């Protein structure tokens, strides 16, 4: 009889299908579903919309935790998370523009800032060799470093940002006007923080890309 102990077979290679069904990515798909449901309920069912939005925020906090717990961090998950955040907020702001036409231009500017700053920052970080747009050194920006490296800060600021728009949404319904006003006032400091962070990360992204362009131009000049 052989004295060799049985060994566990090595796991097979990870497939694209496996990544698609990572637990945090499944949570991301659930967030997409909650966004679609909220679009259908937004015009006439503020309570249902608020509940769906709350579920979406909780799921947003959960996906990153699950990714780290099960070692299922993926580029798909990171992009899905950011795109879902921006798309859900954009959908709500579309409705707010309809509900508050006098605020339409301001809301358009703010959502444009939100989308462009996140896209440019992610593109600049990845094109310069970084692995995540959330990796920001303290020497680069103390505010962004605090925002992206402290998960409690990130979740709190994002929660208040969404709460601000949620408060404005509730303010548009007569039955919830007072409650919506208080939500607006309570979430305002966090909302302002988020807009400042968007401006800083847009500026940082532009500087990273411009520095890269300058370095490439200098390399070409040397070779000529």
In tens, the pLDDT along 41-99 reads 999 999 999 888 888 878 887 887 888 888 888 888 888 888 888 899 999 999 999 99
Give dist(CA 173, CA 162) in Å, integer: 18
**Cα separations in angstroms, 4 against 1, 7, 8, 86:** 9, 9, 13, 56
Structure token digits, residue 145: 């470093």
- Say what the pLDDT of residue 219 is: 86
Which residues, at least 6 apart from 16, have a Cβ–Cβ distance to it below 8 Å?
none
Say if 187 falls within a structural domain: yes
Q: At what angle do helices 142-149 and 177-223 cross, to 10 degrees?
A: 120
Element of type H or E holding 142: helix 142-149
- Say what the pLDDT of residue 113 is: 94
114 is catalytic: no
Which residues, at least 6 apart from 179, have a Cβ–Cβ distance to it below 8 Å?
170
pLDDT-based confidence at residue 19 (cuts at 50, 70, 90)? confident
- State in Å, rounded, how far the first CA of the chain is from the last one: 73
Region at 74 (left for phi over 0; alpha for psi -120 to 50; beta for the rest): beta
- Say what the pLDDT of residue 147 is: 83
In tens, the pLDDT along 107-164 reads 999 999 999 998 898 888 888 776 566 667 666 678 888 887 888 888 888 889 989 9
pTM, rounded to two decimals: 0.82
Say if 222 falls within a structural domain: no
Say if 8 falls within a structural domain: no
For residue 185, the enclosing domain spans 17-215
Say if 42 falls within a structural domain: yes
Say if 11 falls within a structural domain: no
Give dist(CA 177, CA 48) in Å, integer: 16
Q: Residue 168: which CATH number?
A: 1.20.120.1760
Say if 2 falls within a structural domain: no
Element of type H or E holding 181: helix 177-223
Region at 5 (left for phi over 0; alpha for psi -120 to 50; beta for the rest): beta
Q: 73, 34 in Cβ contact below 8 A?
A: no
Residue 10 phi, psi (nearest 5): -65, 140
Number of domains in the chain: 1
pLDDT-based confidence at residue 9 (cuts at 50, 70, 90)? very low
3-state SS of 126-139 is HHCCCCCCCCCCCC
Structure token digits, residue 45: 């069912």
Say if 221 falls within a structural domain: no
Say if 1 falls within a structural domain: no
Q: Which of 60, 63, 85, 114 is catalytic?
A: 85
Q: 97, 103 in Cβ contact below 8 A?
A: yes
């Amino acid at each position: 009889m052989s004295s060799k102990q049985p060994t566990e077979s090595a796991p097979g290679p990870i497939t694209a299908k496996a990544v698609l069904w990572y637990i945090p990515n499944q949570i991301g798909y659930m967030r997409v579903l909650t966004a679609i449901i909220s679009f259908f309920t937004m015009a006439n069912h503020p309570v249902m919309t608020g509940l769906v939005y709350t579920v979406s925020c909780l799921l947003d906090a959960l996906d990153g935790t699950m990714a780290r717990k099960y070692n299922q961090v993926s580029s798909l998950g990171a992009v899905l998370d950011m795109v879902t955040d921006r798309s859900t907020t954009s959908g709500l702001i579309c409705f707010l523009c309809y509900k508050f036409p006098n605020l339409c231009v301001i809301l358009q500017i703010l959502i444009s800032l939100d989308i462009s700053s996140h896209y440019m920052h992610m593109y600049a970080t990845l094109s310069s060799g970084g692995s995540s747009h959330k990796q920001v050194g303290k020497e680069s920006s103390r505010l962004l470093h605090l925002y992206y490296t402290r998960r409690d800060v990130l979740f709190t600021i994002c929660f208040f940002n969404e709460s601000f728009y949620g408060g404005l949404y509730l303010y548009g319904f007569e039955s919830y006007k007072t409650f919506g006003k208080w939500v607006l006032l309570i979430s305002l400091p966090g909302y302002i923080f988020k807009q400042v962070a968007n401006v800083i990360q847009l500026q940082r992204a532009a500087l990273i890309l411009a520095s890269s362009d300058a370095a490439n131009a200098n390399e070409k000049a040397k070779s000529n």
